[in-house]
Every structure is written in C-alpha cells, then in structure tokens.
Structure 1
Amino acid sequence: MMVGTVTMAQGKRYKDLLFDKADVLTDQPYAADTTSAANRKANLFDLYTPHNDEVRNRPLIIWMHGGGFVFGSKRDDNIRLWSETFARRGYVCAAIDYRMGKKSTLFSFGKLIQAAYPAVLDARQAVRYFKEHAAKFGIDPNRIILAGNSAGAMMALQAAFSNNRELADSLRIKNPAGFGTVNDGPTKVMAVVNFWGGIYNINWLKNEPTPVVSVYGSKDKIVHPGVNKGTYGGQAIYEKAKALKRPDDVKVFEGYGHELYRHFNPLPLHPGKAGIRRRWLEAGQFAADFLAKLI
C-alpha cells in the first residue's frame, strides 16, 4: 500500500514493520538545565521517526540504554536496533543519554545503584520535555512509553512507579536535592517495556496501574528474574501483576543470561553475533505485540 510517497508493507501499524526505514535526528537536548558541560552532554536524545509518515499524534517510546549506570550510550547497538524497528512500526522513538555514576563505583553495589537516582530524574525530565513539545514531534502526549534494557529498564520502572522521596530513601541518598527536585511522584506513562531490569520495591507497583511487559533470560545472574539484593526482576514483577489483576505479560528466554547472552561478558560486548541480534529482535516483537493491544 502507498502512504504519501512511501511504500508500506501490509500489516498492522504499531505491530508490524510497515515502513522501509526510519529517519534519525541526532543529539537534541531534552533538558534546559545546562549547569555543566557534563549535563549538556548527558541530556541528549536521538529521534527516530517512520520515513515519510504522514500520521501525527503518534505514540512515543523513550528508550534508555543499559550499562549499570556507568557505561553505555543511546547509540548502543540494541538501542539503535529497537529504536529503528519500532519507528518502522509507526512509533516515534527517542533514545536518550542520561547522567551516570563514576566508573569507580562499579564494584560497590550500594554506590552503583545510587547512580540510578539522577538517571531516574532525567527519565522524568525527558517525559516532561516530550509532553511539552508533542506537537513539534507529532506525538500523542497521552501515549508515552518508557522502555529500556538492564539499567535503562530499571530507570523506566522506578520512574513509572516510585516517587522521588521514596526512591531516594530506598537508595539511601543523603542529599537528593543535590541531583534535582525531590517532589516528583510517579511519572504518568502508558506502559513500561522492561528488558531484563528490575524494581527496587515490589510494592511500588501498587502506586500506578501502568502495564509492564517484561523479557528476561532464565539464567540471568546480573539482574535476577526473582529477588536478589533488594531488586525484583521480571518474574517477580509479573507475579505481583497477576496478584494485582493487571494485564502485564512476560517472555522468558530459557537458558540465556543477561542481555540474552548465553554467557554474559560486559567487557567487551559482542552485539554483532547473529544469535544475540535475533533474540533482541524477538524480544522487540514480543513487546510490540503487547503494546499494539494497548493502542
């Protein structure tokens, strides 16, 4: 079928790959706070839109990369893959960078997760920015989805279900005001895509009715699918959702670990392997099927 000057495949918008490619606008700021060069660099996004799409008022997915809050980029291979393929389904996708902790905290779990706090504030800011500029980007401010893998998924979950005060208390942040406002409540979004991430307090799921679609590997030792070190993974989230009678869904990749690797090794990552890419695409399709039912 033809839409404008672009040839579209047959299928269902938001579920199937309809557009032949996505257009990308890079390194755009989403935060007005430019108090430091580091913040100016951190608070940037790349925007992916369906090529020659004439539809406006589209859902937006904000994608947040993993990396334990100390590594990673909005241009990681998996983030680019999901941003492009979801844009080809008809979404607008914003892949964001965010403030991260120091690499010296990598081997201190307590300090590592504290870096989640400013990252969550950045996720909230990104949602505010796109709601304020919805007309400019052709998006529906009432259909914004937070999505991410690993640390990015943790950001999405904490932003959607916790308020800043309880998050700061949970992470034992001594001076939360030093990172920004402490008064924000849960960020109102349409859904959360949780790729092998977790929430810090399972009872926060009661704060909002936001649906969550989770994907994880059954042998994930980085973010345990159940409960480990005060983090509740995809399995625990899904079980709590069932108890709350919510429409969440979950997909498990049996025999695989973190990031859907057979044997996860973050130094270095090998995202170019065909099997890993295939599993990332499969995870994306599962999330797309779930989101299409909501839309």
Structure 2
Amino acid sequence: MSRLFYACLFFIIFQSTEAQQKYVDSLFAVGKTQTEVYAEKNNEKLIIDLYFPENNDEKRPLIVFMHGGGFAGGSPKNPQEVKFARMAAARGYAVGLISYRLSRKGQSFGCDYDAEGKMETFQKAATDLMDGFKYLKDHSADLKIDPEITVVGGSSAGAEAVLNAVYNPQLMFKNSENYSEINISAVMSLAGALLDVRYITEDLAIPGIFFHGTKDNLVPYATAPHHYCKTSDPGYLILDGSKTIVERLEQLDTSYLFYSFQDARHEISGMPFEYLPEVFEFLQKVVFDKTKIQSSIYK
C-alpha cells in the first residue's frame, strides 16, 4: 500500500512540474542584485540594477523597466518595481531596472513648462533607455542575456520615454540608425502616451501591453493635451495615449493586450500585480510562440 502511495505521489509531483512553464510560472530562486553603470552624463552615473534567475546558465530573455516620477523623481529601487523584477526573474527572465536623467528634478513638468522643453525631456530619457540597451547588448555574453528577445516597460514618465523610443524614434533621435541593432520584442506601458501614432509604421509596430485609466488626469487615455493644458498654456502638447496607440496597432495587425479601467485616474501607473499572470502569458504566447493576440479588457 505504501509503495502504491509513493508511486502515486511521485506521479502527481512529476505531472505538476511538467505542467509548469518557464517565463510563465515561478520556477527559480532569484540571485543577488547586480548593479551596472551604463553611462555617465552631466557628472551623473546612470545605472541598471539587474536581477537574474539562479541555477539557469542558458541565455536569458531580457526585460528592462523604467520607473515613473514626472522626470523629476523616482528610482530603479522603488519597492513596486523591485518586486516586479524579482517576480519576472523567478520566471526565467533577466530583468534590468534602469535609471535615467531626471531633467525636471525640482522643477515643473506641467502646463507652465513649454512644449519644446517637454519634447527635449522625452528625447533625453528615450536616449538614456537606448544607451542602456546598447550597454546590455555589448555585455550580453558576460551577463548571459539573449539580446534578441527583449521586453521594455515603463510607468508614467518612464512609459512615455519607452513608448516614444520604441514607436516614435524619428522624433526622439537625431539618427535612429544608431540604435538599429537593438531588437525590441514587446512593450509594456502603465499609463503612458507618445507624441504621434502616425509615426508608427509597420516596421515599428511592436506588440504592446497597456494599462490605463479612462479618466487619467495627467496622461491622456486617448488623444488629448498633456496634463490637459489649455491651448494658451506654454505646456500645451497633444499626446496619443493607450487607446489611440492600440487602435493604430490594430490597424497594423499587431498583437496587443489592453486593460482599460473605467473612471480610474493616474493611479493606474502603479504596478498591476493582480494582472501580471496574464502579462506573462501574453509574452509567452506572442514573443515566444509567435501567436497573434488582440485583446481589450474593460474593468
């Protein structure tokens, strides 16, 4: 009887293990955080805090995430982002939480700050992001990173930098060819927006994951002025938010996962831990299995 019991128990454990999927389920312990300085600009060291799965010697796909904070604050050591990084690393990803130039530290990024300055702020942060990617690609062998499978995400200001870098490189970089060797597999945006969806061509139509509140008071859900500035304000600048971006991706027959939160404001820029299982499933199916998914979910 006991032999039969242990045989059945082994079979159940084996079946359970077989059912678990790398990149979807938590399979690995997470090692000690590794900090790399990827650039020094204006006498400031810009860093990437890296999180790796332990006991996994193969090349790991990469997730890079940019924190929010209105280009004035925030840090790659924010507890929410660190928790996310450890969750993703436990699933087999290498994860980099990246710092960037906080061009508006101690200053406004609202309607009193001119639109040209806002554009320059986006450009600086987008450039920092891509320089971070270049560093990781150049050191991918030592870091055991697969530079051909990369996901980039951001929250609020970080999402604006990410979306503009990926979908509007013509508006961000003097020469976007400088970053042509960087391969982005998917984008994740928490309450983000970009300058102009009309610049998203078929070549730039990368699969995206979007979370946004329909009543976001800072970053438009669809198409509207940044911070809802008046036309007479110096900071009047039209941005295309998640809804408009998703509509463009649908036109271009590109995969997306879009969560809209009815009447929610800018708090949707927080890490959506409740929905991360669906995020990891989407990445598995779209990035690794090459399945097309176009899903809009209203909460």
- TM-score by length of structure 2 reads 0.77
- Opposite residue 25 of structure 1, the aligned amino acid is T
SS in 2 for 1:237: helix
Partner of 1:244: 252
Identity percentage over the alignment?
25
Counterpart-to-counterpart distance in 2, 1:199 and 1:76: 24
Q: CA deviation at 1:183?
A: 5.8
User: 1:225-244 to 2 correspondence within 5 Å?
Assistant: 225-229=221-225, 230-244=238-252
Match of 1:287 among 261, 271, 279: 279
Partner of 1:270: none
TM-aligned CA distance change 1:92 to 1:219, over 3 Å: same
2:164 and 2:194 in contact (8 A); partners too: yes
Partner of 1:144: 150
Q: CA deviation at 1:138?
A: 1.2
SS in 1 for 2:194: coil
Mean alpha-carbon deviation: is it higher for 148-157 or for 202-211?
202-211
- Superposed CA RMSD: 2.5
Q: CA deviation at 1:256?
A: 2.3
Q: CA deviation at 1:194?
A: 1.2
Partner of 1:209: 205
Partner of 1:4: none
- Opposite residue 288 of structure 1, the aligned amino acid is F
Deviations 1:191-230 (A, max 9, x none): 1111111111101221513111111122212111101122
User: 1:76-225 to 2 correspondence within 5 Å?
Assistant: 76-102=78-104, 103-107=106-110, 108=113, 110=115, 111-163=117-169, 166-167=171-172, 184=178, 187-206=182-201, 207-225=203-221
2:214 and 2:260 in contact (8 A); partners too: yes
1:60 and 1:94 in contact (8 A); partners too: yes
SS in 2 for 1:28: strand
Instruction: Say whether residues 1:14 and 2:23 are aligned partners.
Output: yes
TM-aligned CA distance change 1:141 to 1:59, over 3 Å: same
Q: CA deviation at 1:249?
A: 1.9
Counterpart-to-counterpart distance in 1, 2:279 and 2:240: 20
Instruction: Say whether residues 1:49 and 2:52 are aligned partners.
Output: yes
TM-aligned CA distance change 1:109 to 1:70, over 3 Å: farther
- For structure 1, list consecutive stretches of 5 or more residues without a partner in the other structure: 2-7, 169-175, 262-275
- Opposite residue 28 of structure 1, the aligned amino acid is E
Deviations 1:42-66 (A, max 9, x none): x10111111x232411110011001
Q: CA deviation at 1:254?
A: 2.9
Q: CA deviation at 1:94?
A: 0.4
1:215 and 1:283 in contact (8 A); partners too: no
Counterpart-to-counterpart distance in 2, 1:291 and 1:109: 38
Counterpart-to-counterpart distance in 2, 1:223 and 1:24: 35
Match of 1:60 among 62, 77, 88: 62
Deviations 1:103-148 (A, max 9, x none): 3233326234531211111111111111111111111110111111
SS in 2 for 1:23: coil
Counterpart-to-counterpart distance in 1, 2:69 and 2:26: 28
2:130 and 2:179 in contact (8 A); partners too: no
Instruction: Say whether residues 1:253 and 2:261 are aligned partners.
Output: yes
Counterpart-to-counterpart distance in 2, 1:44 and 1:151: 17
Counterpart-to-counterpart distance in 2, 1:259 and 1:286: 20
1:101 and 1:112 in contact (8 A); partners too: no
Q: CA deviation at 1:284?
A: 2.7
- Opposite residue 215 of structure 2, the aligned amino acid is K
Question: How many residues end up aligned between the 2 structures?
Answer: 254
1:251 and 1:286 in contact (8 A); partners too: no
- TM-score by length of structure 1 reads 0.78
Larger Rg, first or second structure (1 or 2) = 2
Counterpart-to-counterpart distance in 2, 1:287 and 1:155: 20
- For structure 2, list consecutive stretches of 5 or more residues without a partner in the other structure: 1-9, 11-16, 226-237, 289-299
